[in-house]
Amino acid sequence: MHLVVDIGNTETVVGLMAPEGEVLTHWRLSTGLPRTADEYDHLIHALLARKGVDEGTLVRGVLGSVVPSVTERVRTALAGIIAGPVFTVGPGADLPIRLEVDEPQTVGADRIVNTLAARDLFQRDTVAVDLGTATTFDCITREGAFQGGVIAPGVQVGLEWLGRRAAKLPRVEFRPPDRVIGRRTEACMESGVFFSTVDAIDGMVDRIKAEWNRPDALVVATGGYAELLAPHCRTVERVEPFLTLHGLFLAGRHMAK
């Protein structure tokens, strides 16, 4: 089995992968909590033990990170758990994709492995919408070329901004409202944040398809909020919640050759 780790700004997702690439189980950890390499080691050991995973069956680790301050600590922890190699994915990794952008060295590991996964899974031009701390829109050709995209505020930004800036407004949950027009303050806020996010996704996808001149591009949602938001989005055709984990698995398999 393989252990893959996606370190995002808010959450770190640890995935246990079968040799064929199936996600057997996964865990979400808070990235913001300061932890040492020893603490990550203890935490990952505990997660594996609770699932009854024999650590001797772990033959490879793959790490993708957009938080440099955390990367080496997690890598050190994985190296102490996994007997086999631990690979770190970045812009310089030897992968069967192309970064056709002005500054390829600045492309995040998540966007790199999403490109690799889209190439493997879909074999068609794709707009990958990753709904996490930030909302990213990636333009990926059927041949596996990342041609740029969009980075927008994440889905929680509106709620956090309202809570900080408007003293009389309560904090509310991010969830699909029953109706657009709210009759209480909380309902008004829930509707405003949720449906403005949905409309922003659809509007941005429309603009991307028009400018990219790929009207038939497949629109795939991934990330922590994908399953919540996608059913309400007109433009999203498919949900792949583990697109990034699949891409990390593929990257590790390729780098191990």
Burial class (CB in 10 A: 0-12, 13-18, 19+), 48: buried
* Helix locations, 36-97, DSSP H: 37-50, 68-81
| C-beta neighbour count of 213 within 10 angstroms | 8
Q: In the structure encoding, which two tokens stand for residue 78, read together? A: 């994985």
Q: In the structure encoding, which two tokens stand for residue 150, read together? A: 């969009």
- 195 contacts 178 by C-beta, under 8 angstroms: no
Question: Where would I find the beta strands (DSSP E) of the chain?
Answer: 2-7, 11-17, 23-30, 60-65, 86-89, 98-99, 126-131, 134-140, 145-153, 218-222, 238-239
From 38, 41, 102, 110, the catalytic residue: 110
In DSSP terms, which residues pair with 126 in a beta bridge?
140, 218
Rounded to whole angstroms, what are the CA distances from 131 to 70, 107, 182, 187, 239? 21, 17, 25, 23, 11
Q: Over the Cα atoms of the chain, what is R_g?
A: 19
Burial class (CB in 10 A: 0-12, 13-18, 19+), 44: buried
Q: Is 110 part of the annotated catalytic residue set?
A: yes
Q: What are the catalytic residues?
A: 110
